[in-house]
Every structure is written in C-alpha cells, then in structure tokens.
Amino acid sequence: MTTTRREFLQTTSGALAGLAFVGCELMAAAPARAQARRREVVVSGKRVKTVDVHAHCAVPEALALMNLKLGGPLYRPDLSMATEVSTRLRAMDEQGIDVEALSINPNWYTADRDLARQIIKLQNEKLAEACAANPERFVAFATVALQYPDLAAEQLEEGVKKYGLRGAGIGGSVNGAEISDPKFHPFWAKAEQLGVVVFIHPQGTGAPTDLQNRLKGNGYLDNVIGNPLETTIALSHLIFEGTLDKFPGLRICAAHAGGFLPSYAGRSDHGCFTRPDRCAGGPYGPIKKKPSEYLKQMYYDTMVFTPEAVRHLAAEVGASQLLVGTDYPYPWTKTAVDLILNTSGVSDDDRVAMLGATAMKLLGIKA
C-alpha cells in the first residue's frame, strides 16, 4: 500500500497529537510534584524568608455588592482566596515566595456610606479568614472606605486590632481627590498612630481616566503608563503638599516601584530651583526637606523587571526601602525573587532585606 502525502501528514499529525496528549498528561501530574518541591531561597548559604508585598485577591461576595463578579482579565477567577488558594500556593512555591501580603484593589470609593461599611466589613473578615487558614503563608492589608476618611480611620483600627491585618491598602486618588487633601487627615493620623504600613496601589479610575484618549491604542498603555503615572502623582502630592511633614511617622509603601518618581527624582528637586514662586508651600507652609529626600523614607516594591532598574532604584531610595512585589495573579512576572538575586551593586545583606527581612519587620511577620 502506497502512502499518499496527504495520508502521511494525517498519520503524522495524529501521532503528534498523541504525543501532545502524553505531554499534557505529564504536565497534569506536575503540580503535585511542584507542591512537594517548594523553592527555598538561599543567600550566603542561609535560608531567607521571602515576602511579596504586592499580591491581589478579591472577595466575590463583596464584588456582588458592587454588582461585579469574577471573570475576565481584570476580575480574574484566581483572585478568589476561597476557591483558588491551592493554585496560589503552588505559584508561590514555584516562585520561591514564602509569604504574600494580600491586598484588594479598591472599587468601592463610589459606594455610599452604608454600602461601603458592608463591603469593608465583609472584605476584612474574609481577609482575616484567608490568613488564618494559612497563617504561615499570608498576611493582609485591611480595606478601608477612604471616601469617608473618619470611617476609614475606624476601619483601619478595627482591621488591625480585631482582625490582625497589617496595615491598609488604598488607591492613588479617591474620586478625583488627591490623597494629600487635608480631608484625609483622620485616616493618615490613624495610620501614623498605629504605626502600620499604607500600601498605595494605583486605580484604573485615577490618572488613566483623565488621559484615557491618549492612552488608547496598542500597548496596554492605560496600565503600562497610566498606573505608574497615578502613583507618581499621588506620591508627589504627599511630598509637595506637606502630608509627609505633617505625619512624619507614616509608613508608605508604593506599588510599581513608586511609578516614575524614583527614576527622575532630580527633576522634583530642580523644579523649585527653577520656579521658586511655584514652590511657596502647601497647606502647612514650605516643605521641610529636599523633595528627593522624602523618597528615601517611603517603601517600594521592586516591580521594575530588570536588575539594572532595581540597582538604580536602590541607589535612589536605598536598598532598605525595597520589598519584593509580584502583582499576583496578574502575570507580570514569575521571577521576582531572581530579580533581586541577580541585582548587582548591592550587598547580600541588602538582598536579604529586599527579599523579606524589611517586609517582615514592617508587617510584623515572625521569622
């Protein structure tokens, strides 16, 4: 029997499909092995506990109160801690992440006071439950209704004292208001008083909204540029409006390495030399330090993707201010730990600090 070319191709593709099938079966068996083989990060011969400060989750019951549900690229199903925690733990094991500090991106800033109260209570309870279920692997930032600053202060206190949460996660702006606006002082005062970290994560309703026409087109620019821009603006106002002078004990941690701010810090300083008339001061008078000095008192995740960018960030703000961030479950990186291990120009002590030691101190994580 002669084999036609067509038959040959069919047979071959059938055989390849068979191979692919075997391949999938092998892959399906892989997770169990990966789970057993948790990556342990070692620096200078010592096991280092690693902490990821930028890890998202969501509470489906709280989303429902805002008429939202899990599904699609934004509200990814794996944001759920109730149903997808094994997937998350597997990813953490594979990537060498020992502890995640969970946060929920605010989508409730337009909610009225009663609804906001319900959403926050539900979320903070569920965050506490998720941490209690795997206390070695998770801590969490409380959610707060920052559109009602007095309520947000109460929610932060309750989150920390009643639920054991380690700080608060907030957006880079609140319904168009800058977080440096004096109306937010009750919240900042409470955060300073409790000595807890405030994790600032940009929102799609911030700078990307104002610039939406210019951030259209190819390239995912509303996030790639819009998100770090939102953080850049938020931090700049905290500096220039004097919020960081008014509350010098604040522990701010900014997502995405503080946006563009630490990569162009010199410009923040030189603006006031160039136009002192535009730098007369904010609500509390002139700021007390050089703008770039404030950058060295805030904390940042290391989501900058190249060792050279981490080296530069450390040079600008200090390695002591940097913390690992992955943005899980959004697939920006799976090599956040390697990024730190591969950064040159920093010491092994710096690497240990960035990988987890600093976050453990800030978030009260036991060794």
Using CB under 5 A as the criterion, which residues of the chain lie in contact with Zn ion when the complex forms?
327
Q: From the CB of 343, what's the least distance to Zn ion, in Å?
A: 21
185, 246 in Cβ contact below 8 A?
Answer: yes
CA distance 273 to 262: 19
CA distance 115 to 193: 27
Q: Which is nearer to Zn ion, 58 or 156 (CB)?
A: 58
Phi, psi of 339, rounded to the nearest 5 degrees: -55, -45
Q: Which is nearer to Zn ion, 256 or 351 (CB)?
A: 256
Q: What Å distances lie between residue 236 and 110, 168, 197, CA to CA?
A: 24, 20, 18
Residue nearest to Zn ion (CB): 327
Q: What is the DSSP string of 232-254?
A: HHHHHHHHHTTHHHHSTT-EEEE
Q: From the CB of 255, what's the least distance to Zn ion, in Å?
A: 6
Q: From the CB of 52, what's the least distance to Zn ion, in Å?
A: 11
CA 24 to chain centre: 33
Q: Which is nearer to Zn ion, 291 or 325 (CB)?
A: 325
Q: Which is nearer to Zn ion, 242 or 329 (CB)?
A: 329
Q: Which is nearer to Zn ion, 255 or 360 (CB)?
A: 255
Q: From the CB of 79, what's the least distance to Zn ion, in Å?
A: 11
From the CB of residue 57, how many other CB atoms can be counted at a distance below 10 Å?
A: 25
CA distance 165 to 139: 7
From the CB of residue 55, how many other CB atoms can be counted at a distance below 10 Å?
A: 25
